[in-house]
C-alpha cells in the first residue's frame, strides 16, 4: 500500500525536479511541500509499548484492540485536493515567473495556515492514542496486582 502511494509521489518529485531549473526555487519549494502533504494520510506507526517495571509471575493475556488509523474528514480531503490542483496547475499552464511578491507571500501564508492546524490535529491524536495505551496498561497492572496480591 505504501509503495503504491509513494511511487507516484516519487515520480512527481523527479518530474518536478527535472522540469525546474534554478529560475523557480520558490515554486519548487511549494510543490515539494505539497508532495509532503500527500503523505500525511498514511498511517503512522504506533509507539513501542513501555516495558513493565517488574516481571510478573503469571502474565494474563490481554488482547489489545487494533487501533486503525482515523480517516481524514471530508472537508480536509477536499481542501487538500483543491490545494493539489492549485499547486500543480502551473505545471500545465505556464505562469509568468517570478511571481509577484504579494501573490507569492499569499500562497506561502495560505499553505502555512492549511498545514499548521492539520499537524496540530495529528499531534493531538497521537498524544490521545498514547494516553489511552498508558491508561490501559495502568488498569491492567492495577487489577493484576489487586487480584493476585490481595486475594
Which cell numbers hold the place of 9?
509521489
- Quick one: pLDDT at residue 3? 47
- Quick one: pLDDT at residue 2? 45
- Quick one: pLDDT at residue 49? 57
Using an 8 Å Cβ cutoff, are 30 and 108 in contact? yes
Enter the DSSP assignment of 95.
Answer: -
Mean pLDDT across the chain: 66
Domain ranges in the chain are 102-151
- Give the pLDDT band (50/70/90) at residue 38: low
Average pLDDT over residues 131-146: 79
- Quick one: pLDDT at residue 27? 65
pTM of the model: 0.31
Residue 137 in this model has a pLDDT that exceeds 70: yes
Average pLDDT over residues 82-108: 69
Using an 8 Å Cβ cutoff, are 42 and 5 in contact? yes
Model confidence pLDDT, tens digit, residues 2-35: 445 555 555 665 665 566 555 566 666 666 666 6
- Give the pLDDT band (50/70/90) at residue 47: low
Decide which of 136 and 146 is more confident.
136
Residue 1 in this model has a pLDDT that exceeds 50: no
CA distance 115 to 117: 6
- Give the pLDDT band (50/70/90) at residue 50: low
Element (H, E) at 127: helix 101-149
Range in 3-17, 51-65, 81-95 with the lowest mean pLDDT? 51-65
Which cell numbers hold the place of 61?
493475556
Amino acid at each position: 500500500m505504501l509503495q503504491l502511494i509513494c511511487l507516484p509521489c516519487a515520480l512527481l518529485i523527479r518530474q518536478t525536479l527535472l522540469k525546474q531549473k534554478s529560475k523557480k526555487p520558490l515554486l519548487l519549494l511549494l510543490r515539494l511541500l505539497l508532495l509532503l502533504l500527500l503523505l500525511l494520510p498514511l498511517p503512522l506507526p504506533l509507539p513501542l509499548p513501555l516495558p513493565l517495571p517488574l516481571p510478573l509471575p503469571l502474565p494474563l493475556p490481554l488482547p489489545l484492540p487494533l487501533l486503525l488509523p482515523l480517516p481524514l474528514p471530508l472537508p480536509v480531503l477536499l481542501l487538500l485536493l483543491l490545494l493539489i490542483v492549485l499547486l500543480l496547475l502551473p505545471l500545465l499552464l505556464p505562469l509568468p515567473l517570478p511571481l509577484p511578491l504579494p501573490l507569492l507571500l499569499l500562497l506561502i501564508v495560505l499553505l502555512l495556515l492549511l498545514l499548521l492546524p492539520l499537524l496540530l490535529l495529528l499531534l493531538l491524536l497521537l498524544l490521545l492514542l498514547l494516553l489511552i495505551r498508558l491508561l490501559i496498561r495502568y488498569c491492567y497492572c492495577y487489577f493484576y496486582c489487586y487480584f493476585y496480591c490481595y486475594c
